[in-house]
Structure 1
Amino acid sequence: MRRLAIYCGSATPADARYMMLARDVGAELARRNIGVVYGGGRLGLMGAVAGGALNAGGEVIGVIPEALAGSEVANTDCTQLHLVSGMHERKKLFTDLSDGFITLPGGVGTMDELWEAVSWAQLGYHSKPVGLLNTFGFFDHLIAFNRHMAEVGFVRPAHQEIIKVADSLGELLDRMAAHQPHRPIFQMEASEL
């Protein structure tokens, strides 16, 4: 994996552990020579990931919609900064520029990015690994809900392993490196759906 899209919040939580986690993730990816593709802002966890990677000498590619460039204070320190017209173009460029996705804690926008990466994988728009870093148990309820969707039958057996989950970055990267593409919906017969 040469580059990973990192999805995370643009907010700064009161609990400083989240900012430290984001900085550490950025720095560790740089140490492993893995470039960061992220939301392009300076604020919150996004800014911390970029700062951690840049301070460790890593490549950081920001992708930010023009409408958010001012409000999120676009990070002009990035190796590259792409201004795009909107959120759909942003997520497509995340997919085009990266070899996989890691989701850190965040809010609604972060969840949107995660679920689109999963949905696109199910359909067959990409076959890249989708990772969820569950540090501090932040995603425990989301993981349980995803399992519930599968148990009820809304996530097909072929797609139940799309999301790779781990509590530590090293373990998550190992699971992502071992990723085996699944059979996407676009290749399934109607009887399999």
Structure 2
Amino acid sequence: MTAMIKSLCVYCGSSPGRIHAYTEAAHVLAESLVKRNIRLVYGGAGIGIMGKVADRVLELGGEAVGIIPKALAHKEVAHANLTALHVTQSMHERKMLMAELSDAFVALPGGIGTLEELFEIWTWAQLGFHGKPCGLLNVAGYYDALVSFLDHVLAEQFVKKHHHAMLIVETDPNALLDRYAAYQPPVVKQWLDKDQT
């Protein structure tokens, strides 16, 4: 059964990054989401790449749902004009709600928090907690070194081939969303219940 994508969770930086290509990719992804009637779910900030993707979705009449912990609402400057903004008590609650509200997950360029969120949701897929597609939007080669490292992890037999293949990597947002729409999760034995994590 293929994935029905109604909401996409976007992990990305709360800073704009060094080059304008990151902002351009955020805008193109936003345009693709609105065109396909897919709701944006993201970290709730109004700054950086996070703010850019949400702003563009809203400009085009799409839906943008932000989820931000109370402690970061001021530091990351919570977006004031979202379709909905959920303020959580903790980072863990934030990530759980983002996962619950989303049918798929993608990382745009970002820092340590972006990587942590991506690896956690990918790990949950590996453990069989969900069968939703996860991926990287590799803008301007930003994730080239990470993709190469993950190939090395596979070659060194610390990850299985079908788990490695769960992470979809594309340079174009439309190609990524096309692959998400056709995604069929591998049959994965559930190692733990979510309550055991």
Aligned-pair CA distance for 1:187: 6.0
Measure, in 2, the Cα distance between the counterparts of 1:184 and 1:69: 37
TM-score, normalising length: structure 2? 0.91
Aligned to 2:195: none
Match of 1:183 in 2: 187
| Corresponding position of 1:191 | none
Name the residue aligned to 2:128: 124
CA distance in 2, matches of 1:99, 1:164: 14
Query: How far apart, CA to CA, are the structure 1 residues paired with 2:63 and 2:93?
Result: 21
Contact 2:44 2:78 in 1 (8 A): yes
Per the TM alignment, residue 118 of structure 1 is displaced from its structure 2 partner at its CA by 0.7
Aligned residue number for residue 47 of structure 1: 51
CA RMSD in angstroms, aligned pairs only: 1.4
Structure with bigger helix share is 1
Q: Which ranges of 4 or more aligned residues in structure 1 deviate by more than 4 Å? A: none
Q: Does 1:97 align with 2:101?
A: yes
After superposing the two structures, state which structure 1 stretch, 16-25 or 125-134, moved more.
16-25
Partner of 1:146: 150
Counterpart in the other structure of 2:24: 20
TM-score (norm 1): 0.93
Counterpart in 2 of 1:174? Answer: 178
**Deviates further, 121-130 or 14-23:** 14-23
User: What count of residue pairs does the alignment treat as equivalent?
Assistant: 188
Amino acid at match of 1:179: Y
Task: Work out which of the residue numbers 55, 75, 80 in structure 2 matches 1:76.
Answer: 80
Q: Distance in 2 between matches of 1:106 and 1:49?
A: 13
Q: Could you say what secondary structure the match of 1:186 adopts?
A: coil
| Paired residues of 2:29 and 2:174 also in contact (CA < 8 A) | no
Deviation at 1:184, TM superposition (A): 2.4
Identify the residue that residue 60 of structure 1 maps to in structure 2.
Answer: 64
Per-residue deviation, residues 35-78 of structure 1 (Å, max 9, x unmatched): 00000000000000000100010010000000000111111211
Counting aligned pairs with the same residue, the percent is: 45
> Structure 1: where are the runs of 5+ without partners?
189-193
What secondary structure does 1:127 align onto?
coil
Does the 8 Å CA contact 1:27/1:55 hold for their aligned counterparts? no
Q: Which residue matches 2:37? A: 33
Q: Is the 8 A contact 1:25 1:52 kept in 2?
A: no
| Partner Cα distance (1:122, 1:136) in 2 | 28
> Could you say if the C-alpha distance between residues 158 and 28 of structure 1 is closer, same or farther in structure 2, counting changes exceeding 3 Å?
closer
Q: In the alignment, which residue of structure 2 is the partner of 1:2?
A: 6
Amino acid at match of 2:127: L
Give the Cα–Cα distance (whole angstroms) in 1 for the partners of residues 50 and 173 of structure 2: 16
Distance 2:56 2:6 in 1: 17
Please list every run of 5 or more consecutive structure 2 residues that lacks an aligned counterpart in the other structure. Answer: 193-197
Higher relative contact order (CA 8 A, sep 6+): 2
SS in 1 for 2:86: strand
